[in-house]
Amino acid sequence: MKYLILMQVDPAVLEQLTDEQQRQLQEGHGAFMAEAKERGEFIATQALADPSQSKVIRSSGNGPEVTDGPFVESKEFMGGFYLVDVADEARAVELAEQIPDANIPGLALELRPVMFADLGDG
């Protein structure tokens, strides 16, 4: 089963991290990716730009309309994701718990099963 692990970011929390915590966060993600790849559970990861660089495309009733930035005011935003392929939800939860963000108060991970995927791999 494929699961998407969404990383919810709060910039205020990240700004408060010490240099050591930032280093642990970076190294922790590297270790997580290496282990998930070694176990054959890793599919992909992407880090996303700050929402200030977003465009929103939404129907205005007369076709698509493009605007700058998100409409929803929120202190958190999706900062990136991991896509994993695991035996079951319990293993997906185990993996999510290994991501260093899970141990930083104020950050969150959201786990969702993938209902459909086309990864363009032929």
Convert the pLDDT of each residue in 12-52 to its tens digit: 899 999 999 999 999 999 999 999 999 999 999 999 988 87
Domain interval for residue 85: 2-48+76-113
Q: What pLDDT does residue 2 have?
A: 96
> Structural domain tally of the chain?
1
Is 59 a domain residue?
no
Q: At residue 15, what are phi and psi to the nearest 5 degrees?
A: -65, -25
* CATH (domain of 90): 3.30.70.1060
Q: Is residue 66 pLDDT above 70, yes or no?
A: yes
Q: What pLDDT does residue 72 have?
A: 56
Average pLDDT, the chain: 89
Query: Do the Cβ atoms of 111 and 96 come closer than 8 Å?
Result: yes
At residue 62 the predicted structure's pLDDT band, cuts being 50, 70 and 90, is confident
82/3 Cα distance (integer angstroms): 8
